Structure formats: C-alpha cells, structure tokens
Structure 1
Amino acid sequence: MIGLDALKGRWRLSRVITDYRADMTGRFEGEAMWRPFDDGLEQVEEGTLRYGAAAPMQATRRYLWRSEGADLAVFFDDGRPFHTVPKAAEEALHDCPPDTYRVRYTFADKDQFSTLWRVTGPRKDMLLDTTFTRI
C-alpha cells in the first residue's frame, strides 16, 4: 500500500482501453499530478485520448484523495465518494447503476504503480489498464 505523501508529484501515465462491446481499443497518454488540496491531494490527469478511428482529443479528469485511517479514499472532484484503494491482491468496487466498476491496484515500487479497471453492465464492457511512472 502507498501513502498520500508517496503520491505527491508528477507521473507519466499510459492507459490502454479495451472496449469489448464496441470492439474498439483506445489509448490515453499523458501526465498525472498529485498536489496538496484541502485535507488531502488533488489528482489531475491531462493528456491525449486516441479511441478507435476518432481523431485524437485532449482529455482531463480530476479526483480527490484523502487518508481515512489506514486507508486511502478516492473521491470525484465534486466530493462524492468513488472508492477506497484496496489492499494488495484485493479489488475495490464502485457501483454506478446500471454499470459496475471494479479496480485492482498494483504498487510495484515507489516510482511505479498500475490500476486495472473492469467495467461491466448493460451499457459497458471495458478493461482499462493504466501504468503510472514517476517523472
């Protein structure tokens, strides 16, 4: 498990998106920045999304991270709960009816980690595999 202090700073990110329902793949390449915000950290991802045959587009997403006891909790940018970072080899769940989001984190070392999201439901069937490497 990683702590908030270990996340601070700039990270290169590479995300491979496999959309089974649409039979398409995509890729997001960019940077993520974790910086102090209120009582935790703000995560901002910025980069270029290439998805299927569509023209590349700039994309941004933002999350808030806080320590809650021994856990790390992740929130949407409006403060709604998203998920708690699971322990090694475990999975976190975010239920967003009618779809379900499940994530596993793998912390390789202090300078690299990955997330593997599996999204299923009547509208989605996707795998999002992201690697973060400290810059």
Structure 2
Amino acid sequence: MEEFRPVPDALAYLLGSWRVTRSVQDRAGGGEGRFDGTTVFGPLDAGGLLHEEAGTFVWLGVPRPAERTLRFLPGPTPGTADVRFADGRPFHDLDLTTGRHVVGHPCSADLYRGEFTVRDPDHWRTVWQVAGPAKNLLLTTDYARLR
C-alpha cells in the first residue's frame, strides 16, 4: 500500500519551483507523449498562488513548446485551495490534508478524474484520467522541488 504525506496547508507546500515530468498516453489511439519543464508557484497580490508551467512537449516524436497558467486560491477551509484556470473559470478543489485528494472536472462531454498524492516534502504526483467521446487519456505528472 502506498503511503501519503499529509500536508496541513496546500498553498504553503506548493510555493516555489518544481521540476515537472509528465507522460501522456492516448489509450484509444496508442500515441504517447512526454512533457519536461518547470512549474513555478508564485504569490498572487490578492492571496493564493499563480501556477506557471513551461517546457517542451514531445508528441509522437515531435517537440514543441508548451505552457499553462492556473490560479491556486485559498479554499473554503484552512489549508485547502480553489484551483482556477488563468481566466478565472473554476477547475477543481484541492485538499492535501491527508496527502491524497481525488477530484473530477467535466470538460464538454469528457470527464477528467484527477488524483493528487504527496510523497514527501519535495515530491508529489498527479494522475489524470480523461474519458469521453473525444478523449481517452492517461496523464501522469511527477513534481520534484527545485532548491
């Protein structure tokens, strides 16, 4: 059985820079890809963190630059977060107080199911399973704190 590390405050834990490695598997078409880059969680003026990810995504052997921005705002209970897209639309909640959190996010007719696990003070993982008429993907992302 896998052990998880409880985190009393998700935003405090995430603050800083992380090395990111993501594998992407298209379970319908058989394609595979990989993202390598960094994610920086920096403070927002109004509270919370700005998540800025940048790196290189290689899909079927073709590399291209990739980036995304999210907002991690203080959640409804202490130590949790309300994750939003860069434009402010809701994405999902985040509660790492047990070291593991499972979320769902509908996107058009597809459903994203995410699992967040904290391994130790410097390592965490997300696994997103995407299922629906348009997609059948497995995305596994490992984060390692940069010092």
TM-score w.r.t. the length of structure 1 is: 0.93
Assess if the C-alpha contact under 8 Å between 1:73 and 1:84 holds in 2. yes
Question: 2:87 corresponds to which residue?
Answer: 78
TM alignment of 1:106-121, pairs within 5 A: 106-121=117-132
Taking the aligned partners of 1:111 and 1:4, their CA distance within structure 2 comes to 14
Q: Secondary structure at the match of 1:122?
A: coil
Taking the aligned partners of 1:59 and 1:104, their CA distance within structure 2 comes to 22
1:72 partner letter = A
Taking the aligned partners of 1:82 and 1:32, their CA distance within structure 2 comes to 18
Give unpaired runs (5+ residues) of structure 1.
Answer: none
**Deviating runs (4+, > 4 A) in structure 1?**
86-90
TM alignment of 1:3-82, pairs within 5 A: 3-37=10-44, 38-53=46-61, 55-68=62-75, 69-70=77-78, 71-82=80-91
Q: Secondary structure at the match of 1:31?
A: strand
Assess if the C-alpha contact under 8 Å between 2:94 and 2:101 holds in 1. no
Identity of aligned residues (%): 34
- Which structure would you say has the larger RCO, counting Cα contacts within 8 Å and 6 or more residues apart? 2
Taking the aligned partners of 2:101 and 2:40, their CA distance within structure 1 comes to 25
Give unpaired runs (5+ residues) of structure 2.
Answer: 1-6
Taking the aligned partners of 1:133 and 1:19, their CA distance within structure 2 comes to 25
Taking the aligned partners of 2:13 and 2:135, their CA distance within structure 1 comes to 33
Taking the aligned partners of 1:102 and 1:120, their CA distance within structure 2 comes to 8
Taking the aligned partners of 2:22 and 2:95, their CA distance within structure 1 comes to 20
Q: 1:13-69 CA deviation, whole Å, 9 max, x = no partner?
A: 00000011221000000000000113210001100000114x200000000001212
Assess if the C-alpha contact under 8 Å between 1:86 and 1:92 holds in 2. no
Assess if the C-alpha contact under 8 Å between 1:114 and 1:130 holds in 2. yes
2:53 partner letter = E
Question: 2:113 corresponds to which residue?
Answer: 102
TM-score w.r.t. the length of structure 2 is: 0.86
